[in-house]
Structure 1
Amino acid sequence: MPYITKADLIRRYTETKLRQLTDREAPYTGAIVDAVLEQGIASAGSVIDGHLSGRYTLPLTVVPPLLTDVAARLAVAALHVDTAPEKITADCQAAIRTLRDIAAGTVQLDVGGVEAAPATPAGIEVDAAPRAFGRENLRGW
């Protein structure tokens, strides 16, 4: 299940803006090029999955609105082949920070029925054999 759809992106960014970002090659169609838009959506999805995979069971059955917002920001940033405007860059960076917070467990997703994976303990435990030579063993030598 994708985190965002074409209709969601049109509602958020307008058809005109998406047409400008996707209709890149001659002969120009004057419409949104679905193949290019799908690449942006897939790129956003892979970034989100990469951050969620350590904490949640994927694929999610329900997409929370927070992830739809994050996916929109990432997808539009991915559609900019040249330098993106400052607003788009700032939105993309904010989306990545949100994903890092989700991965760290600072932000919890309400995904109904999907349990967050337990956090792994910080640190490594080592069980070693007793020392062969130490203060107690060498006393009196």
Structure 2
Amino acid sequence: MGSYATIESMITRFGKEDLKEVTDTEIPYTGEIITAKLQAAIESANAEVDAYLAKQMHVPTVLGSPFVQMMACDVARYHVALGNARVSERDEKRYDLAVKNLKAVNEGKIGIGAGTAKTNAAPSINLAQMTSGRPSVFGNSQY
């Protein structure tokens, strides 16, 4: 199964120093990103994103959507900070905006910008065909 937010996408979005600060909060301090703590927050965030997207689409739907990835990263950052009881105003604003956007997707008000991204959606093979008039037995469209 894929993931919207990943450790790599979190590093790209927030930087190593920020993630060290928010994850390395217990003695003995290592000065490194605590990947177990970050991964737990990522899994929670991905599940939360799935919960919002599940009403409108098959999940995990668009793993390559930068919009979905951004929201998942913001939710994951909030979960990490919340676990440490160190939620900043910035974290709350990013989380609130992500949830607002996820709710808008859920309600069908906005899309996820997946026009060119890979999706897990199966193509429909049972398509109806409309014709005008009665078809000819001989295939020349005349009666």
Q: TM-score, normalised by structure 2?
A: 0.73
- How many residue pairs end up in the alignment? 115
2:104 to 52, 77, 101: 101
Say whether residues 1:114 and 2:121 are aligned partners. Answer: yes
Question: Counterpart of 1:39 in structure 2: which amino acid?
Answer: A
Question: Counterpart of 1:114 in structure 2: which amino acid?
Answer: A
Considering only aligned residues, what root-mean-square deviation do their CA atoms show, in Å? 1.7
Contact 2:58 2:120 in 1 (8 A): no
After the TM superposition, which residues 1-141 of structure 1 pair with which residues of structure 2 at under 5 Å, given as runs?
1-60=2-61, 62-80=63-81, 81-109=84-112, 110=114, 112=119, 114=121
CA distance in 2, matches of 1:15, 1:31: 8
CA distance in 1, matches of 2:24, 2:120: 40
CA distance in 2, matches of 1:30, 1:6: 17
Which structure is larger by alpha-carbon Rg, 1 or 2?
1
CA distance in 2, matches of 1:78, 1:84: 9
SS in 2 for 1:32: coil
SS in 2 for 1:77: helix
Q: TM-score, normalised by structure 1?
A: 0.74
